[in-house]
Structure 1
């Protein structure tokens, strides 16, 4: 009875074949989507988030208005205290109001009803919903972009760490699904890291518009009120102010650029997942994933399913679909403020970016938890005759034209395959024997030796991989410093705003 109860308690974690549950990060990504929302909690969460952004912009705007002498200190102080109370209460009074003209006007009407026209009515001085919406959209995008940028930075770090750890583990590179030439697993991971670091750079470039403050642009033509976008930008963590009021309210290019960069990264992740799927097949596994990165079968007790790789592939192009949907919504809108752009287009951006974060996190977990089988990798490189190209190149070094060498080695490989002999036997053929080095090294055709010899053209030989890892670390450090600088500016702006708002509310 005790044994049965132990099995029952462990069911879902210890399946017999697998002794651990799924990695916690992976579990959140894969299974939390199945948790039912609690009575509209998902909608309320989005509404509270939007009201949070609106109130943050309001605080900066009010501080600027009183500092510039545009509005008296007393109504600004009353408004700031009322806004702080709303934020502390989760905007419950606003959520309870009807919203026939949108979220902002319901929020503003609450403040007017509570404080009176003379106080609440000054909030919107020198501002429109258009430049307000443009600003909150950037704040929301900043949050999503920050999560994605950090996830990509972390993936790049893990790739480079694993590349260094496995830089001497010989394996075959594959073309058309067939063993091609010898490389190392570290060399492969360095190649993937190159693409991921480029992806990080592309995302940082795509997010540059998020550093531009559109406040002050008004409905589309600015305002005669002497507002100070530089000051509100400083309080909200922006780097610069918009240079043109039309562009400030019309453009949501950052959404398309972020989705485009995320889409390219997703394609890279899907292709890597395809490789890792191929290399974890049970018939000839080159990699083994940790138990907390695989799933079991509900029926077949022997299974270890690398199903996270399927989730990577399945979600990898969500950002591309989001790009298509967002661009399609924008394409018929005029170049001014338009609901199709501010609402219909942007609503596709957030889930597209969240899906890319999930893909990047899952790929990082798999790369970190994938253990190469060095013996089997080397065996596949040997059995796949991956040193044949090097043998042909050795013949070229003796003066044989490459196409002739290619033919000779190809025929010798066919003979060796028919006889079940290794490539070294093919190299002993009279017409090929001249390719052998003079030092008598019996292992000169081993895939490890060949990989080491391929030091040109950024191959795995010499110090190529180590040098590439070092250079990529340098690029990653520079990009990380840029990312840190942006997030620090955002945090410093928030702290500056808190201090200024407290002083103005006193």
Structure 2
């Protein structure tokens, strides 16, 4: 029986796909780790300068002469790490080539690689989330006074404004973005120096490694460096929540654009026409948004669930193919954020349909009851009964609520035993949708002043989130420049 490693089936089903994953995602991260580790070993005196210079030159030559993207996995080496080591041996011999691996392991290297790539994906996604938040704030400001019908339990409830509705979505997205940035911050601790499990007997400088690689600092506990995968579960959980919440907004857009509701108009550029029914306007981008958001939730869930009941140790369940599989969530999620930002900017509210639905559903009648409490010194329950009787009468007569003063006066007299002081014009003003919204200037309400205050707060929050991310990106850029300079110095004779 042939005992030579690797078994051909294992090669094809595991090692080859892993190698392809490295080619697609991790070569740059491995290169950065090799260079930073060599700089650290030299600065700490673990490696002599002359040998470090030879290793540095060999690493550059490998980058220049080995076209990793064109390679096909053959099984001659186990993985990309051993491929680089084999190439170093060709150029330097086994003794000097092996020095680069002093005081490190594939364990700490792998999780550092995964964190470097996950941070980049996270940064791109968070930037897109902020772009969507900005688009929502801009639209909410533009539509601050645009009346809509607000629904509860699928039924017309009260008038509000499109701006107020979008402001609610802004608040959720800002909280989701805060969660994403907090989860991203938990990725930003470097495992290098943990080695296999317990760090090393060599006088390594873990803080220097973290700084050279652009991390905020080293992850303290060395066992946790190779065992804790909360940096994975934390970010994908935050991602799932983001797209679960956006899915609810998307579903409302589907409902609002339905023919029977019709308060949301989707422009022709985002509408497809039926192949057989020429009268149909199908706003299918909303459907694509819905299923892409759901796919993103599912893909994020798959990564989190893969960690369920796994041992608290270094394990393949959190590595390689699992990490690569997670990147699909970023792909579909990015498409949702881009398309939703475009759709939000393009849609409009059909004022005519809103007015008809307001009239048909008597959704301003709550303010009639409130006004009776304030102006007629009634209990809310008595006022509610009068308002309900008024609504029933105008609906039965097929009239809008604004034309129901006679029905109101009769209901008021029958239920209170006296005449109302509300004149016909005062009654009409009381039950108008514009009046309903204008009165609601309480903190967080749809009134113009309340909305202006809220929009200013959202912009301030978004600016703060942007500044936080910019600071992290600037630190990473400085680290990249510092690593280039330190490694370049090793190449100087």
Q: TM-score, with normalisation over the residues of structure 1?
A: 0.86
Deviates more, 1:376-385 or 1:442-451: 376-385
Equivalent position to 1:49, from 25, 40, 44: 25
Contact 2:360/2:395, CA 8 A, preserved across alignment: no
2:385 equivalent to 1:407: yes
- Cα displacement (A) at 1:73: 2.1
Paired residue for 2:456? 470
Aligned structure 1 segments of 4 or more residues deviating by more than 6 angstroms: 40-43
Query: 1:158-169 residue pairs with structure 2 within 5 A?
Result: 158-169=135-146
Q: Structure 1 residues 112-121 or 409-418, which shifts more?
A: 112-121
Aligned residues of 2:266 and 2:347 also touching (Cα < 8 A): yes
Match of 2:183 among 188, 198, 206: 206
Instruction: For residue 463 of structure 1, give the secondary structure of its aligned residue in structure 2.
Output: helix
Distance 1:438 1:380, change over 3 A: closer
Q: Greater shift after overlay, 80-89 or 184-193?
A: 80-89
Counterpart residue number, 1:141: 118
Give secondary structure in 2 for the equivalent of 1:465: helix
What is the alpha-carbon distance in structure 1 between the residues aligned to residue 304 and residue 397 of structure 2? 60
Alpha-carbon distance in 1 for matches of 2:355, 2:63? 61
Instruction: Give the corresponding residue for 1:16.
Output: none
Alignment counterpart, residue 497 of structure 1, candidates 465, 469, 483 = 483
- Give the alignment partner of residue 293 of structure 1, picking from 270, 286, 303: 270
Contact 2:402 2:427 in 1 (8 A): no
How far did 1:153 drift? Answer: 0.4
Deviations 1:297-319 (A, max 9, x none): 34444443211211221122334
Q: Which moved more, 1:378-387 or 1:117-126?
A: 378-387
Alpha-carbon separation, structure 2, partners of 1:61 and 1:72: 14
Deviation sequence 1:394-449 (CA, Å, 0-9, x none): 12223222222222211211110111122134344224473738994853321011
Q: 1:264 to 1:179 in 2, by over 3 A?
A: same
Structure 2 unmatched ranges of 5 or more: 1-15, 413-418
* DSSP-derived class of the 2:159 partner: strand
301 and 87 in structure 1: CA distance in 2 versus 1, 3 angstrom threshold: farther
Q: Residue 9 of structure 2 corresponds to which residue in structure 1?
A: none
3-state DSSP class of the match of 1:434? coil
Q: 251, 254, 272: which one pairs with 1:274?
A: 251
Q: How many angstroms does 1:385 deviate by?
A: 1.3
Q: Secondary structure at the match of 2:468?
A: helix
Larger radius of gyration: 2
Distance in 1 between the 2:421 and 2:204 partners? 79
Moved more, 66-75 or 96-105: 96-105
- Output the CA distance in 2 between the equivalents of 1:46 and 1:189: 42
1:354 aligns with 2:334: no
2:229 to 239, 252, 274: 252
Q: How many matched pairs?
A: 467
Match of 1:221 in 2: 198
Q: 1:122 to 1:46 in 2, by over 3 A?
A: closer
Tell me what 2:394 maps to: 416
Name whichever of 364-373 and 397-406 sits farther off. 397-406
| 1:63 aligned residue (39, 43, 52) | 39
Question: Cα–Cα, structure 1 residues 108 and 97, in superposed 2: closer, same or farther, change >3 Å?
Answer: farther
Q: 1:156 aligns with which of 104, 127, 133?
A: 133
- Farther-moved stretch of structure 1 (489-498 vs 100-109): 100-109
Measured at CA, do residues 401 and 491 of structure 1 come closer, stay the same or move farther in structure 2, by a change above 3 Å?
same
Deviations 1:454-473 (A, max 9, x none): 22252212411111111111
Instruction: Answer whether contact 1:97 1:106 (CA < 8 A) is retained.
Output: no
Identify if the C-alpha distance between structure 1 residues 439 and 415 changes in structure 2 by more than 3 Å, giving closer, same or farther: closer
Cα distance in 1, alignment partners of residues 275 and 426 from structure 2: 57
Q: Give the CA deviation at 1:274.
A: 0.9
- The CA deviation at 1:42 is 12
Displacement after TM superposition at 1:65 (Å): 1.1
Counterpart position of 2:3: none
In the other structure, the counterpart of 2:439 is 453
Residue aligning to 2:358: 381
Shift in Å, 1:279 = 1.6
Distance 1:301 1:114, change over 3 A: farther
Match of 1:119, SS state, is helix
Q: 1:196 to 1:305 in 2, by over 3 A?
A: same
Pair 231,43 (structure 1): closer, same or farther in 2 beyond 3 Å: closer
Consecutive unaligned residues in structure 1, runs of 5 or more: 1-39
- The alpha-carbon distance between structure 1 residues 342 and 152, as it changes in their structure 2 partners (threshold 3 A), is same
Contact map agreement 1:294 1:306 (CA 8 A) in 2: yes
Equivalent residue of 1:122, what SS? Answer: helix
Offset of residue 500 of structure 1: 1.5
Quote the residue 1:243 is aligned against.
Answer: 220
